[in-house]
Structure 1
Amino acid sequence: MVMSGTATDVWIVAHDGRDMVRADAIVLIRFDDTGRLTAQLRDEARVTVALLEGSASGRPPGDFHRQLIRTISELAASSGAHLVHAQKNDRGWHWVSETL
């Protein structure tokens, strides 16, 4: 997406914290009953990346994948690069974003 001459990149941190996925490379998000959230990437090999593993300390809300899509959409409308990751605190699971 290009806005006012500035490219917007939204990156999502994978579950292990070592890998990042560019949001515009995702074609499918799957959220299973164990709380595992995976993203299938747009490529010929159909690579799948785990964005969140199921957690014994509490399952994310049932619409957590929709919250991610909403967060990406809101950030894509802004300028600059952003990093998004899942976080659990005393109020539950939520998506956190930061400017890169």
Structure 2
Amino acid sequence: MSGMAADVWIAANDGRDLVRADAIVLFRFDDTGRLTAQLRDEARVTVTLLEGAASGRPPGDFHRQLIRTISELAASSGAHLVYAHKDDRGWHWVSETL
């Protein structure tokens, strides 16, 4: 994810933590729907972005949808926050301007 605009942030841990998108080097999406991000640092810190099993499993390409959303927002101006949301249509990424 290196090279992304520093103005795109991802809400993690139900919005209690915010991760800057350009700090992420790896997404890991497991069979339970848990989505984690490994940060670009010496300690190889991993942050849980979504605990999917508790709220139902997101679609299999949910991590790819996040990458697409970040890329689109990085090309725009201003700061943005991205977070996972589940409603009657299922899981999707929502963005808002900060």
TM-score where L is the length of structure 1 = 0.90
Q: Percent identity at matched positions? A: 88
Give the Cα separation in 1 of the matches to 2:31 and 2:87.
21
CA contact (8 A) 2:6 2:20 kept: no
Deviant stretches of 4+, over 6 Å:
none
Among candidates 71, 74, 80, match of residue 73 of structure 1:
71
Q: For residues 16-55 of structure 1, what are the structure 2 equivalents within 5 Å?
A: 16-55=14-53
- Of Structure 1 and Structure 2, the greater helix share is in 2
TM-score where L is the length of structure 2 = 0.92
- Gap regions ≥5 residues in structure 1: 2-6
Give the Cα separation in 2 of the matches to 1:55 and 1:87.
14
Among candidates 9, 13, 31, match of residue 11 of structure 1:
9
CA contact (8 A) 1:13 1:19 kept: yes
Q: Deviations over 1:20-76 (max 9, x none)?
A: 000000000000000000000000000000000023442100000000000000000
What count of residue pairs does the alignment treat as equivalent? 96
Larger-Rg structure: 1
- 2:93 equivalent in structure 1: 95
